Amino acid sequence: MKKLLLTLSLGLALSLTAGAADVTLTDVHLCCGSCVKGAEKAVAEVAGLTAKADQDASTVILTAADTATLQKGVDALTTAGFFGKSSDPSIKVNAETGAKNQKVKTLTISGLHLCCGKCVKAANQILSSVPGVTGNTAAKGVKTFEVTGDFNDKDVFDALQKGGLTGVEK
């Protein structure tokens, strides 16, 4: 009788986890504990989703019962300024920034994750690598900042996303 109950309990536990799905986002900017907390906080309100951000691996693993919930989690991360590559081709990371792929002298960016000095330093390094960018006003905790120079707006966002960050043109 005990074996039967144990077998039934084990079978129930396996059936509950069998429907679980996960997606790993790689190359996400997670330079500090605040970034990790920020990523986990960004998805905390998505019902039925759990998240584990790993600073050392630059990954965020999302787990849910279905792909629709996983997609909501990935969307919440990009809205919070985090960007990465999805391990599941059916889960799309939204790369839309509003950039028009045109030369500009000033670009206003909002929504980029800038929780600490390390985030700002990373953003500065990324932005300085974009041909034609000569300056920016990124600072810890700002919601919006400007990039200046003579550059292609899409190149700026492509570089930021390659560095694990994202935002939108304002």
pLDDT along the chain (170 residues), means of 10: 39 45 98 97 97 98 98 98 98 97 98 97 98 98 98 98 98
58 and 28 in contact (C-beta within 8 Å)? yes
Q: Tell me, what's the pLDDT at 19?
A: 63
C-alpha to C-alpha distance for 162 and 83, rounded to whole angstroms? 8
C-alpha to C-alpha distance for 25 and 93, rounded to whole angstroms? 9
For 82, which DSSP code? B
Q: Tell me, what's the pLDDT at 65?
A: 97
For 49, which DSSP code? -
Q: Tell me, what's the pLDDT at 20?
A: 82
- Cross-strand bridge partners of residue 21: 64
Query: Which class would CATH give 103-169?
Result: alpha beta
Task: Note the CATH number of domain 20-86.
Answer: 3.30.70.100
Q: Tell me, what's the pLDDT at 164?
A: 98
Same CATH fold assignment for domains 20-86 and 103-169:
yes
> Where do the structural domains in the chain lie, given as residue ranges?
20-86, 103-169
C-alpha to C-alpha distance for 73 and 61, rounded to whole angstroms? 10
82 and 42 in contact (C-beta within 8 Å)? yes
